[in-house]
């Protein structure tokens, strides 16, 4: 196989190229920083509202340092919409004990359900926002290199690499199949059309499976071993200054967490 480098292949559309201190950090440093930040956020009690606000301020500072458009970041946060829909239902579905109901606009809502909804929204939004900042400031190929640097099993890294590389191809196949159906006058409008949609999904699965076999055989015929060696700058580690800069976010979040725990 060819050597895996940060510049291999076109940049992913999630990446927003900028010249900033955040973009310049090594990918494995940013991966560790995001993981540490998320762990701190998850461990924070749901009643610590101020802590969650400060976490959001920290992420906003990172976004500003990375010179990312606020509108773009906000738009990408919409990916958590299904979780928001689930959280909205909790105040109506979680049972409330005596004295645990809150009247809002004439409707009795469960106080434990409200706290549960807040817990999902706050922690989910912060986690998604951290991931959005990571993908916006790091090219997808660099992220894969970062996973290699962190000793993630090479097979998992290869699977992730192929998912990214061929995800757009599968999406294009589905788009062409949809256009072909519409050109023949088909429009899915009810349950009776599910059979056609299921046939489309099955054909897409078979086509994708066969493509995977062909790619695998092509790799083996070229001496592929299932791993891609790191090359050039990608093989170099991070300096102490870079690790210190990356640690600023999780350390600041941990400080907020400890200060929140010390307040009675």
Q: What is the pLDDT of residues 122-165, one digit of tens each?
A: 999 999 999 999 999 998 888 888 888 888 888 788 888 778 77
> Residue 193: CB partners within 8 Å, gap ≥ 6?
186
pLDDT at 113: 82
| For range 61-81, the mean pLDDT | 92
Q: What angle do CA 10, 15, 19 make, to 5 degrees?
A: 105
- Per-residue tokens: 123: 């922690």
**83 three-state secondary structure:** helix
Distance, in Å, from the CA atom of 240 to the CA atom of 142, rounded to the nearest integer, reads 19
Average pLDDT over the chain reads: 83
Distance, in Å, from the CA atom of 201 to the CA atom of 187, rounded to the nearest integer, reads 15
Predicted confidence band at 98 (pLDDT cuts at 50, 70, 90)?
A: low
| Candidate from 40-44, 63-67, 138-142 with smallest mean pLDDT | 138-142
- How many angstroms from the chain centroid is the CA of residue 196? 32
Determine what percent of the chain is predicted with pLDDT higher than 70: 84
Distance, in Å, from the CA atom of 236 to the CA atom of 76, rounded to the nearest integer, reads 32
pLDDT at 170: 85
pLDDT above 70 (res 204): yes
pLDDT above 60 (res 8): no
Distance, in Å, from the CA atom of 231 to the CA atom of 236, rounded to the nearest integer, reads 9
Predicted confidence band at 60 (pLDDT cuts at 50, 70, 90)?
A: very high
| For range 250-258, the mean pLDDT | 94
pLDDT above 70 (res 17): yes
pLDDT in tens, 217-232: 888 888 876 665 554 4
Phi, psi (5° rounding) for residue 221? Answer: -70, -20
Q: Which of 140, 98, 179 is nearest to 6 (CA)?
A: 140
**Bigger pLDDT: 214 vs 262:** 214
Distance, in Å, from the CA atom of 215 to the CA atom of 249, rounded to the nearest integer, reads 40
CA dihedral 69, 71, 76, 77 (to 10 degrees): 110
Q: Give helix 81-93 / helix 111-137 axis angle, nearest 10°.
A: 170
pLDDT in tens, 179-194: 888 888 887 777 777 8
Q: Is the pTM of this model over 0.85?
A: no
Distance, in Å, from the CA atom of 158 to the CA atom of 210, rounded to the nearest integer, reads 18
């Amino acid at each position: 196989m060819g050597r895996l480098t940060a510049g291999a292949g076109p940049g992913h559309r999630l990446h927003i190229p900028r010249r900033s201190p955040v973009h310049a950090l090594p990918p494995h440093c940013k991966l560790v920083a995001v993981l540490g930040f998320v762990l701190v956020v998850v461990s924070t009690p749901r009643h610590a509202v101020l802590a969650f606000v400060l976490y959001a301020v920290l992420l906003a500072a990172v976004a500003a340092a990375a010179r990312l458009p606020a509108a773009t970041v906000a738009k990408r946060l919409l990916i958590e919409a299904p979780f928001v829909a689930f959280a909205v239902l909790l105040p109506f579905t979680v049972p409330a004990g005596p004295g645990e109901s809150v009247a809002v606009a004439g409707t009795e809502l469960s106080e434990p359900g409200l706290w549960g909804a807040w817990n999902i929204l706050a922690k989910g939004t912060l986690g998604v926002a951290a991931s959005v900042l990571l993908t916006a400031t790091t090219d997808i190929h660099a992220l894969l290199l970062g996973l290699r640097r962190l000793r993630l099993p090479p097979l998992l890294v290869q699977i992730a690499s192929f998912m990214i590389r061929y995800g757009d191809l599968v999406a294009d196949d589905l788009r062409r199949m949809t256009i072909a159906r519409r050109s023949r006058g088909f429009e899915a409008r009810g349950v009776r059309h599910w059979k056609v949609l299921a046939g489309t999904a099955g054909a897409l699965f078979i086509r994708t499976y066969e493509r995977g076999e062909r790619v695998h055989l092509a790799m083996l015929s070229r001496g592929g071993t299932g791993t891609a060696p790191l090359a050039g700058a990608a093989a170099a580690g991070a300096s102490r200054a870079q690790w210190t800069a990356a640690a600023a976010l999780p350390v600041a979040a941990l400080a907020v967490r400890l200060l929140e725990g010390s307040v009675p």
